[in-house]
């Protein structure tokens, strides 16, 4: 429950930052991408709240089960005593007077009851506290159930809002030129020829490096305003980000396989997270989609080219929200995990070498 609350709080802070960035963005494409990332962060926040509420309900039910067992054990002697007192109270007074020794027995019984009742009250004090505790737990369970229903409704509305925004993005993409379609066809051709997933990532890294080198080629030198002056310099990419800024895990979940675990899927080149069914999956950092499709044995996968030679791979998705060529900000929605108890794998590479995805998180 603590992990779910922590993940929800992180998603909330990220959503607020992205919402602020979206309000300040001027370019329509960048604004839309940031808005989608903000909604995705709100979805992950709602998923964390739902998980925390479900954990709280399970904890309350466990406490109630233990308390019911304790009450059943402690109530048995009281039930027997109550039954005996009820039988005594049902004896008619006339019959009591006609029985020999009745007066002496009555006096003795009265003295016994006067001595016993304070003991009964003292011994049942803890039981009464536990009964009150049981009522309190029941009230907490009802309140948690109401909160869970509200959080599920919030999650549904945020997913609907993201769906509307993504539909608008797809409509705008259809009106763009066909360069993205040609790049998607190239990526699919590479996937068909690749021996395995590692080879596919390597081929796409080579293609991305070539594209980056072409993009950095010097253009024509601008003519100075007056002869004899130094030509205007061409702006080049800053030595920028040799690290991934704002790197994050693509989905909230429990780590079930760490980096270097050779027995895991993918040979331990990444980490594997156990996540909620239909959990929102987002881009771990800003970049460009190099591949987004199904791949044998890995479900639907997304490969993202990041700046400075970084590449990430996310596998095990149930549905995709991106296409090849899409420009992503950190936290942009990639898709959703499948139903059930799915596992999402994240790989991170730098210049072709596998890197532990947890290292950038520890470096902050």
Tens of pLDDT, residue by residue over 130-186, are: 778 778 888 888 888 888 888 888 888 888 888 777 777 666 665 554 556 677 777
Helix (H, G, I), strand (E, B) or coil at 244: coil
C-alpha span between 199 and 102 (Å, rounded): 99
Q: Contact, 317 vs 337, CB < 8 A?
A: yes
CA 223 distance to own-chain centroid: 54
**Structure tokens given for 117:** 């009742």
Residue 310 or residue 71, greater confidence: 310
Angle (CA) 177-183-187 rounded to 5° is: 155
Q: For the domain bounded by 178-215+246-364, which CATH number is listed? A: 2.70.70.10
Which residues pair with residue 301 across a beta bridge?
293
- Using a 10 angstrom Cβ sphere, with 0-12 exposed, 13-18 middle and 19 or more buried, the burial of residue 54 is middle
* Domain extent listing, the chain: 1-175, 178-215+246-364
pLDDT in tens, 253-288: 999 999 988 777 667 789 999 999 999 999 999 999
> What is the DSSP secondary structure assignment for residue 309, as one 8-state letter?
G
Q: Contact, 335 vs 317, CB < 8 A?
A: yes
C-alpha distance from residue 285 to each of 37, 47, 103, 193, 309 (Å): 11, 20, 91, 28, 13
Half-sphere exposure of 355 (CA within 13 A, CB side): 19
pLDDT in tens, 28-86: 656 777 888 888 888 888 888 888 888 888 888 888 788 777 777 766 666 666 665 55
Find the helix packing angle between 102-174 and 28-89, rounded to 10°. Answer: 170
Strand order in the sheet with 319-320: 280-282, 333-336, 319-320
0.85 cut: is pTM over it? no
pLDDT at 119 > cutoff 70:
no
Nearest partner of 173 among 288, 29, 315, judged by Cα: 29
């Amino acid at each position: 429950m603590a992990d779910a609350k922590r993940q929800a709080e992180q998603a909330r802070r990220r959503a607020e930052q992205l919402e602020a960035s979206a309000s300040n963005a001027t370019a329509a494409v960048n604004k839309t991408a940031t808005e989608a990332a903000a909604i995705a962060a709100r979805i992950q926040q709602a998923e964390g709240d739902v998980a925390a509420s479900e954990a709280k309900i399970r904890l309350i039910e466990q406490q109630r089960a233990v308390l019911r067992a304790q009450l059943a054990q402690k109530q048995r002697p009281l039930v027997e005593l109550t039954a005996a007192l009820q039988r005594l109270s049902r004896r008619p007074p006339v019959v009591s007077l006609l029985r020999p020794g009745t007066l002496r027995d009555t006096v003795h019984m009265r003295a016994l009851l006067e001595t016993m009742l304070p003991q009964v009250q003292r011994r049942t004090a803890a039981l009464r506290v536990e009964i009150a505790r049981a009522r309190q737990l029941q009230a907490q369970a009802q309140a948690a159930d109401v909160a869970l229903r509200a959080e599920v409704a919030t999650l549904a509305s945020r997913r609907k809002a993201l769906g509307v925004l993504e539909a608008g993005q797809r409509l705008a993409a259809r009106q763009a030129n066909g360069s993205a379609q040609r790049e998607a066809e190239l990526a699919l051709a590479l996937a068909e020829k690749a021996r395995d997933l590692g080879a596919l990532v390597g081929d796409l890294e080579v293609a991305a490096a070539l594209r980056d080198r072409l993009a950095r080629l010097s253009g024509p030198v601008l003519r100075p305003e007056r002869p004899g002056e130094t030509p205007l310099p061409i702006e080049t990419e800053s030595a920028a980000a040799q690290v991934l800024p704002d790197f994050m895990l693509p989905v909230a979940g429990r780590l079930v396989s760490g980096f270097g675990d050779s027995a895991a899927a993918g040979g331990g080149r990444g980490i594997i997270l156990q996540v909620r069914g239909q959990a929102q999956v987002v881009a771990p950092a800003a970049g460009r989609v190099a591949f987004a499709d199904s791949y044998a044995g890995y479900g639907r996968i997304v490969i993202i080219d990041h700046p400075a030679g970084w590449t990430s791979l996310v596998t095990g998705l149930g549905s995709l929200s991106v296409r090849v060529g899409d420009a992503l900000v950190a936290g942009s929605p990639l898709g959703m995990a499948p139903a059930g108890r799915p596992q999402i794998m994240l790989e991170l590479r730098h210049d072709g070498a596998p890197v532990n995805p947890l290292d950038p998180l520890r470096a902050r």
